[in-house]
Amino acid sequence: MSPPGARTRLFLVDDHQLFRSGLRAELEGQFDIVGEAGDVDEAVAGIASLRPDVVLLDVHLPGGGGATVAEAVNRLGIEETRFLAISVSDAPEDVIGVIRAGARGYVTKSIAPSELADAIRRIRSGDAVFSPRLAGFVLDAFRGELPSAIDPELDQLTPREREVLRHIARGFTYKEIGVRLNVSAKTVETHVSSVLRKLQLSSRYELTRWAMDRRMI
């Protein structure tokens, strides 16, 4: 990883050349775009040799999809690279799939350029990035108490986490949420990271079933 003061080294993965060049034009001034790739193999090879700080990862890719890239990079033991998933897909199973594969956030491709840049910076600093849509998915998937939860620590959200997610879904920024809940923005971050961990580690059967029930096809 590049030293904290340096510009964030960014890697773009998207099979649509046009979209990639669009992203490049938007982000070039603020980040150091070290490479890009259009499919899974290219992406894994590029990330392994360039070791970027953040990978902007398309969910749909020829050769296995974004989740495959994240898993392969994980298997190589590369821990300093963080993934932000970006997709035109709002299909829950895609979103949940790529998050469970290790991505630390998810945004849709219609996100405004300035928000995207913010999201990349947050991912770089180790935070989680939840779009309102993702927050809604998580609330939906973790809905209701589970009397038979295998690991309540992981399989359920705390009331506070729910509250934070609800605020994200309502469109508030982390800072605004902090003010409204009378905590620091850092505390909000901690809650979101904890939800991300639950999302990645929960064995909750409902999570998969929910995503399958609401899948695209």
Partner 1 sequence: MSATSATHDTQQTDGSDGSGRRPLLVRSRTDRVLSGTAGGLPETWGVDPLLVRLGLAVLTAADGAGIVLYLVLWALSAEPSATTPGRDVRVRPRSRQIIAVGCIVIGGMLVLQGIGLWLGDALAWPVALAAGGSALIWARSDEGDRSRWTRISERIPGNPVVTVFGGRVSALRVVGGGLLIAAGMTIFLVANRALASTRTAFLAVVVTAAGLGLILGPWILRLARDGAEERRQRIRSEERAEIAAHLHDSVLHTLALIQRSEAPADITALARRQERELRAWLDHRPAPWTEQDLRGAVDALASRIEELHHVTVDTVVVGDAPISENIGALLLACQEAATNAARHSGAPRVSIYVEADADGVTAYVRDDGRGFDIDAVPPDRRGLAESVIGRMRRHGGTATVTSRPGQGTEVQLQLPRTAA
φ, ψ dihedrals at 147, nearest 5°: -65, -30
Interface with partner 1 includes 51 (CB under 8 A)? no
Interface with partner 1 includes 160 (CB under 8 A)? no
Closest to partner 1 by CB, 38 vs 82, is: 38
Alpha-carbon dihedral sign for residues 66, 70, 75, 81 = positive
Tell which residue, 105, 147, 145, 139, has the closest CA to residue 210: 139
Tokens at 68, concatenated: 């495959």
> Applying CB under 8 A, which part among 75-83, 138-146, 189-197, 203-211 lies near partner 1?
138-146
Residue 49 Cβ, how far from partner 1 at the closest point, in Å? 28
Size of the site for partner 1 (CB under 8 A): 28
Exposed / middle / buried, residue 114 (Cβ in 10 Å: 0-12, 13-18, 19+): exposed
Beta bridge partners of 36: 12
Interface with partner 1 includes 60 (CB under 8 A)? yes
Closest to partner 1 by CB, 30 vs 74, is: 30
Closest to partner 1 by CB, 170 vs 209, is: 170
Q: How far apart are the C-alpha atoms of 110 and 123, rounded to whole Å?
A: 18
Interface pick for partner 1 out of 110, 147, 159, 182 (rule CB under 8 A): 110
Interface with partner 1 includes 209 (CB under 8 A)? no
Interface with partner 1 includes 68 (CB under 8 A)? no
Residue 51 Cβ, how far from partner 1 at the closest point, in Å? 29
Sequence-distant (≥ 6) Cβ neighbours of residue 18 within 8 angstroms? none
Residues 8-47 that bind partner 1 (CB under 8 A): 16, 18-19, 22
Consecutive H or E run containing 49:
helix 40-50
Sequence-distant (≥ 6) Cβ neighbours of residue 15 within 8 angstroms? 38, 39, 58, 60, 61, 62
Interface with partner 1 includes 88 (CB under 8 A)? yes
> Applying CB under 8 A, which part among 35-43, 70-78, 97-105, 165-173 lies near partner 1?
165-173
Residues in contact with partner 1 by the rule CB under 8 A: 16, 18-19, 22, 60, 88-91, 108-110, 113, 132-133, 135-136, 139-140, 143, 166, 169-172, 214, 216-217
